[in-house]
Structure 1
Amino acid sequence: MAMKQPNELTATQRRHGMIVMIVNSFMMWGGFFMVVPLISIHYVEALGWTTASIGIVLGIRQLFQQGFTVVGGMLADRFGARLLILCGLIVRFVGFSAMAWADSFPLLLGSAIFAALGGAMFDSPSSATIAALTTTEDRARYFSILGIVRNIGMAVGPLIGTALLIYDFGIVAIAAGSCYLIAWVVTFRMLPDVAVATTQGNLTYGIRLALRDKRFMLYNTLLLGYWFLWTQITLAIPLRAVALAGTDSAVSWVYSVNAVMSIGLQYPLMRFADKRFAPAVTLLLGIGLLTTSLGLIGAADSIWLLLGCVAMYSLGGLFASPSQQTVAANLADNSALGSYFGVAGLAIALGGGMGSFSGGTLYGWGQAIQYPAAPWLVFAGVGTITALLLYFFFRSHDLLRRVTPVRPD
């Protein structure tokens, strides 16, 4: 199958391609959140490992996945995104399934790194494919739909995971890995082989182009704080929920709240915001809500108050997640989309890695000094600084003003 440039695809092919990416998003996020939030619950609560050790595992996983996503993006520009997505899905399947036999720190770390390398192979090629299949007019709408689907997967995954955890964590790991095998079949059968680079230079052409793009690089550097906040949904928040509720089922409650918010509000909220605000303004609003909710969790003394904070956190994510992707896609150079999204993955690697490691370490520190609110105050401080720096960046580059698309008569 020869690669086609985006302008060579028919409207039907674009639509079919986006259906595949929507299905993939559900399976990827469902599989990921089926097992990753339960790693901390299984190894810390059931086996007695330290939160710092699990923070190290999750932090290194994040660093490997997003750090190597630069390579995935570079290879996607040259060899096509479809091939990289297919390879990554198989590697992720093996990595998550291997956790079924991870009964020591080296085995858990090794399987997490292998799963991370799979993610590195399909992550930026997937984002580049979505950017290539959409236009500036419908991109925000599709990112909103993807946000709904991802959050449904984020809720369904933990529900299935916690149900299977009653029997054995190994079953959870294999079931999570199988989600990626299903996505592989769908991708192989239905995804068009769309080119994500309009210019074919040498192998490192796109990477060098992105790294020299000062505006794009500064934007992603400032997003480190956003990714720091975002990773707390996989570690610190579930740990706090279990501590307050006294049951592992609290993990699924957290993600159920997140899913209900997404299903009911993601699309109408983003349509409302898209008609009134620039994506940069919507992103700032989302980060503000994330920051406030994490700060309030420090004062929550019951599971119900925590779930209320989770609802606010989810609302912030509904604004921030599609908006940060839209801003990144709009800032990226179409001649090397894979490489641009690969470089953007470095922000997720560093910010998410710091968030995972610090989240576990700070949570344990708060328990040790008998001041559980301490980590949440730190999270709120990081969010406040991030929002302020992004505001000044957007203002200096005139990105706070909404531009109405010009449509032909």
Structure 2
Amino acid sequence: MPEPATRPRGGARLSRPLGTFASLSPLLRLLVLTQLAFNIGFFAVLPFLAEHLGTAIGMAGWLVGLVLGLRTFSQQGLFVVGGALTDRYGVRPVVLAGCVLRIAGFGWLGYARATWSVVAAVLLIGFAAALFSPAVESEVARQAVCREEAGEGPRTHVLALFTVAGQAGAFVGPLIGALLLAVDFRAVCLAGAGVFVLVLAGHARLLPQHIPGRARVRARGGLRRLVRHRGFLALCCAYGAYLLAYNQLYQLMPVEVERAAGSQAPLAWLFALSSLLVVTAQLPLTRWAGDRLDLRRSMVAGLLTISAGCAVVAAARPAGWTGTAGLLPVAGYVLLLTLGQMLVAPAARAWVPDLAEDGRLGLYTGALSSASGLIVLTGSATIGALLDTTLPPAVPWLVLAALPLTAAALLPCSSRARAGAKPRS
């Protein structure tokens, strides 16, 4: 097999996101831009959904929570379905079907007023992502491995760029939604649908009918072998522990910010800090890790960093600081969580092709999200229950710090591929 391409040094062109993007194949460029567009369209609507349901429609708080939970379940929980369909029917039909459902869901949500109608629209929106996201993610991972085997650079660089594109979309989407919200929520939904109309048209024209090297699997039985794959299940636990800690940006962190600052106004700045770090530092950090760490060590380093971020808040919480001093531990959590995320997310996605059965990459990619989503659902409920007890307020943060450590210990002892080198033939 050819040796990996030599990487330019000293601030060379390929160290920049645009240079890395330009070096990709046309199909990979399309898929990276797809992730950007998906997140722009989705996050133009999602941040404003809860307020719309509670204020404009008048839903009770518990019902708003139920609707949001159903959306998460219909998306994250059903990723494994979308992945299996991708293996059976190919990337193109699953992506196109998901785009059609997302357009219909956003359009429906913009006009929905009755509870049943809102629930149906939200379920449709979630299931749409359960179709197209595993299809795109699994093909990006497969193409990244093929690119690596051809000596065109480590797979983690491609997956890091994919993460950057998604984060950029998650940053731009709410800005667009906030502008359109001056009209009304329906305009926001229709704009989101419009983004997916463009994505649908672009993919109908540019996405190949058959992608070379991607075989379709007709035989059943892949799920049975998957649930017996200890190495893959350990990876799911590690990825789930990271996502549970990340989910505290929306669960524990607002509580801590409210306590320290007396309002939730600083949240916007903390979220901006996280997004800015990913967009600017993801690729340099991935390149640094690729020179020094294999996939397992990259995962372990990321999980330890995330654990440290949670421990910072746990250690500072008994002091009860308020004001700027009270916000510093939370800022430390955001910083360390984001750094850990930048190590864990590309490495986990890069590891899946080495663990998946031949022809089952879509199933394994979807199962990674579904299994970790179940961990987040269970863990978030547990964290919420701990908040309602009389235990010291540092306890939930200590639990969160312990989980990534445990997950890191469960990871397989070695990975077939280095974070910055091609896999063994």
- TM-score normalised by structure 2 residue count: 0.77
- Equivalent in 40, 47, 66 of residue 37 of structure 1: 47
Q: Does 1:108 align with 2:124?
A: no
Cα offset for 1:370?
Answer: 9.9
- Equivalent in 323, 329, 332 of residue 353 of structure 2: 329
Give the aligned partner of residue 129 of structure 2. 119
- Cα gap change, 1:240 to 1:187, in 2 (>3 Å): farther
- Cα gap change, 1:267 to 1:157, in 2 (>3 Å): same
Cα offset for 1:308?
Answer: 5.2
Paired AA for residue 292 in structure 2: R
- Equivalent in 138, 160, 167 of residue 144 of structure 1: 160
Cα offset for 1:369?
Answer: 7.5
**Could you say what the CA RMSD is over the residues aligned between the two structures, in angstroms?**
3.7
- Cα gap change, 1:377 to 1:404, in 2 (>3 Å): same
Give the aligned partner of residue 223 of structure 1. 239
Cα offset for 1:379?
Answer: 5.0
- Cα gap change, 1:190 to 1:36, in 2 (>3 Å): same
Give the aligned partner of residue 31 of structure 2. 21
Paired AA for residue 321 in structure 1: A
Cα offset for 1:112?
Answer: 1.9
Distance 1:244 1:103 in 2: 37
Contact 1:80/1:195, CA 8 A, preserved across alignment: no
Q: Please give the secondary structure, in 2, of the residue aligned with 1:334.
A: coil
- Cα gap change, 1:326 to 1:188, in 2 (>3 Å): same
Distance 1:157 1:224 in 2: 25
Cα offset for 1:43?
Answer: 4.5
Give the aligned partner of residue 178 of structure 2. 162
Cα offset for 1:32?
Answer: 2.5
Paired AA for residue 272 in structure 2: S
Cα offset for 1:201?
Answer: 3.7
Paired AA for residue 338 in structure 2: S
Give the aligned partner of residue 85 of structure 2. 75
Contact 1:77/1:339, CA 8 A, preserved across alignment: yes
Cα offset for 1:104?
Answer: 5.4
Paired AA for residue 137 in structure 2: S
Report 1:5-404 matches (<5 A).
15-43=25-53, 52-103=62-113, 105-135=115-145, 136=148, 137-192=153-208, 193-194=210-211, 197-198=214-215, 200-202=217-219, 204-234=220-250, 237=253, 252-294=268-310, 296=312, 299=317, 301-302=322-323, 305=328, 306-307=330-331, 309-354=333-378, 361=384, 366=387, 374=393, 377-394=395-412, 397-399=413-415
Distance 2:254 2:55 in 1: 11
Contact 2:347/2:419, CA 8 A, preserved across alignment: no
Paired AA for residue 81 in structure 1: V
Contact 2:159/2:349, CA 8 A, preserved across alignment: yes
Paired AA for residue 78 in structure 2: F
Contact 1:258/1:314, CA 8 A, preserved across alignment: yes
Distance 1:200 1:178 in 2: 34
Cα displacement string for residues 10-47 of structure 1 (whole angstroms, at most 9, x for unaligned residues): xx997111111111111112222233233345556888
Contact 2:106/2:193, CA 8 A, preserved across alignment: yes
- Cα gap change, 1:101 to 1:264, in 2 (>3 Å): same
Aligned residue pairs total 388
Cα offset for 1:59?
Answer: 2.7
Distance 2:379 2:400 in 1: 10
Cα offset for 1:252?
Answer: 4.6
- Cα gap change, 1:188 to 1:295, in 2 (>3 Å): farther
Structure with greater Cα Rg: 2
Q: Give unpaired runs (5+ residues) of structure 2.
A: 1-21
Contact 1:77/1:206, CA 8 A, preserved across alignment: no
Q: Which structure has the highest helix share of the two?
A: 1
Once the two structures are overlaid, the 10-residue window that deviates more, 74-83 or 341-350, is 341-350
Cα offset for 1:179?
Answer: 2.6
Cα offset for 1:238?
Answer: 5.9
Distance 1:57 1:290 in 2: 29
Distance 1:283 1:84 in 2: 30
Once the two structures are overlaid, the 10-residue window that deviates more, 61-70 or 205-214, is 205-214
Contact 1:254/1:310, CA 8 A, preserved across alignment: yes
Distance 1:233 1:40 in 2: 16
Paired AA for residue 277 in structure 1: L
Contact 2:298/2:344, CA 8 A, preserved across alignment: yes
Cα offset for 1:234?
Answer: 5.0
Distance 1:103 1:296 in 2: 44
Paired AA for residue 409 in structure 2: Y
Distance 1:407 1:69 in 2: 26
Contact 2:47/2:174, CA 8 A, preserved across alignment: yes
Cα offset for 1:190?
Answer: 1.6
Distance 2:48 2:375 in 1: 21
Cα offset for 1:50?
Answer: 6.0
